[in-house]
Amino acid sequence: MKTIKQILRLYQGGEIFTAFDTETTGLMNKTDKIIEIGAVKFNKDGIIDKFSTLINPQMPIPFCATKVNGITNQMVANEPTFAQICDDFLDFINGTILVAHNANFDIGFVNAELLRLNKSELKKPNIPAVDTLKNSRKIYPELGKYNLQFLANEFCISVESAHRALDDARVCMEVFQHNLAHIKD
- Out of 101, 163, 178, 182, the active site residue is 163
CB 130 within 8 A of CB 103: yes
- Distance CA(70)–CA(145), nearest Å, equals 24
**Residue 58 CB burial class (10 angstroms; 0-12, 13-18, ≥19):** exposed
- Amino acid present at 111: N
- Distance CA(172)–CA(40), nearest Å, equals 9
Q: Can 163 be counted among the known catalytic residues? A: yes
Residue 41's closest CA among 93, 88, 2?
Answer: 93
- Amino acid present at 62: P
Residue 18's closest CA among 55, 48, 45?
Answer: 48
Strands, DSSP E only, in the chain? 17-24, 34-43, 46-54, 97-100, 129-131
Residues serving a catalytic function are 163
